[in-house]
Amino acid sequence: MNHDVLKDHEARDAAAKSALLVDAMERVLIGQRELVSLTVCGVLARGHILLEGLPGLGKTELVKGLSKALGLSSRRIQFTPDLLPGDITGTAILQEQEGHRSMVFNPGPIFANLVMADEINRASPKTQSAMLEAMQEHCVTSMGVTRKLPEPFFVLATQNPIELEGTYPLPEAQMDRFLFKLEIRQGGPESLQRIVMEREMGISPEVPQVMSSDDFIQLLALSRRVHLPEVLAAYIARLVDATHPGRSKAAEGVRYGASPRAALAFATAAKARALMQGRIHAGFDDVKALAVPILAHRILLDYRARLEGQSPRDIVLKLLEEIKPADISSPSVLR
């Protein structure tokens, strides 16, 4: 536990820098400030993010813009059915040096600060699983040697809705490694009008670099120093536990609930959201605002619930109604 408590002026400065980043990213996704804010929150929490939406809604441009705004190294991996695990992690190449031949490791595109996994669900499950070690351990094992990935390391993946032809559902273990799953929806006519007026086909929007990589790393460190009250930790634990069958009325129709990794995701993301708002402690409102992007993709429904038209999002919203924060003497402190 970090006892170096965040100072008010540090939180205010961090909030100002976060706002600059959100403003820069909103140039990419016009009229989608809530989605952009959640993306920035996820990155400040050092988490991987899965963006789902139909083609043409700006998922790829969002990831490219984020790397530009933060000054981080980035690589793009276009996932296709014929992509192999070695195409991601790297392969050994036979090279001749000073008259001797030896196998030399050639790093793959996974070796970058920000990796864009484009249309990740178009690759086979075997290839998708090549991302597991990198996403959890921030390292890659090849030829019996484990190699560390650059820090910070993030995977921002895009996927098409699984109903589209030629897609494969991501393995549950891989879904659990994504901090957030965010859905990108079509904007309204006002947003479309701005896009038509301000964009040209085939030209990416200009995104300024709003901070250096060192400034961003400092923001990550500040996020960890945000205070997480014990009563909030208890609420997170009760909420995650209630996702399992038999633990709550809302979980009727759930086959498998969220793992302990979801509770850790709540803690880190709630701190990041509080920092973005200039607060030195996380609160109940942070947890409630993040419940759907953290929990929905970690809940698996049984066949009856699916036949009845329920969705994991519906379950999470019911959980928020059923599981209330514990009574405390000064509830406003955590809001």
32-46, 128-142, 174-188 — which one is most confidently predicted on average?
Answer: 32-46
Answer yes or no: do 182 and 294 share one domain: no
Q: Is residue 1 pLDDT above 70, yes or no?
A: no
Which is more confidently placed, 95 or 113? 113
Domain count for the chain? 2
Beta bridge partners of 97: 100
| Residue 100 placed within a domain | no
Kindly indicate the confidence band of residue 198, based on its pLDDT and cuts at 50, 70 and 90. Answer: low
Residue 247 lies in a domain: yes
Q: What is the per-residue pLDDT for 331? A: 43
**Co-location of 30 and 171 in the same domain:** yes
Residue 49: strand pairing partners? 156, 180
Q: How confident is the model at residue 15 (pLDDT cuts 50, 70, 90)?
A: very high
Which of 91-100, 241-250, 271-280 has the least mean pLDDT?
A: 91-100
* pLDDT at residue 202 tops 70: no
The pTM assigned to this predicted structure is: 0.87
Query: Mean pLDDT of all residues in the chain?
Result: 86
Share of the chain above pLDDT 90, in %: 45
Do both 251 and 160 map to the same domain? no
Residue 94 forms part of a structural domain: no
CB 171 within 8 A of CB 131: no
Q: Between these two residues, 201 and 76, which has the higher pLDDT value?
A: 76
The reply to whether 189 and 274 lie within a common domain is no
Q: Which residue has the higher pLDDT, 329 or 251?
A: 251
User: If you search the block for the tokens 């809940």, which residue do you land on?
Assistant: 299
pLDDT tens, residue by residue, 279-330: 999 999 999 999 999 999 999 998 888 888 889 999 999 999 999 887 544 4
CATH code where residue 308 lies: 1.10.8.80
Residue 134: CATH number of its domain? 3.40.50.300
pLDDT tens, 52-91? 877 766 777 888 888 889 988 889 899 988 898 889 988 8
State which of 111-115, 159-163, 305-309 shows the largest mean pLDDT: 111-115
Question: What is the arithmetic mean of pLDDT over 177-202?
Answer: 75
Q: Does residue 215 share a domain with residue 234?
A: no
- pLDDT class of 239 with cuts at 50, 70, 90: very high
Task: Assess whether pLDDT exceeds 80 at residue 96.
Answer: no
> Given a cut of 70, is residue 164 above it in pLDDT?
no
Q: Give a yes or no: residue 153 inside a domain.
A: yes
User: Are 318 and 215 in the same domain?
Assistant: no
- Residue 332: its pLDDT value, please? 43
Query: What residues contact residue 253 under an 8 Å CB cut-off, 6+ apart?
Result: 301, 302, 304, 305, 308, 310, 315
- Note down the domain range covering 242: 226-328
What is the percent of the chain where pLDDT is above 70? 90
For range 162-184, the mean pLDDT: 81
Q: How far apart are CA 254 and CA 30, in angstroms?
A: 36
d(CA 26, CA 62): 9
Cα Dmax for the chain: 77
Cα-atom radius of gyration of the chain, to the nearest Å? 21
Same domain, 258 and 215: no
Are 195 and 280 in a shared domain? no
On whether both 171 and 271 belong to a single domain, the answer is no
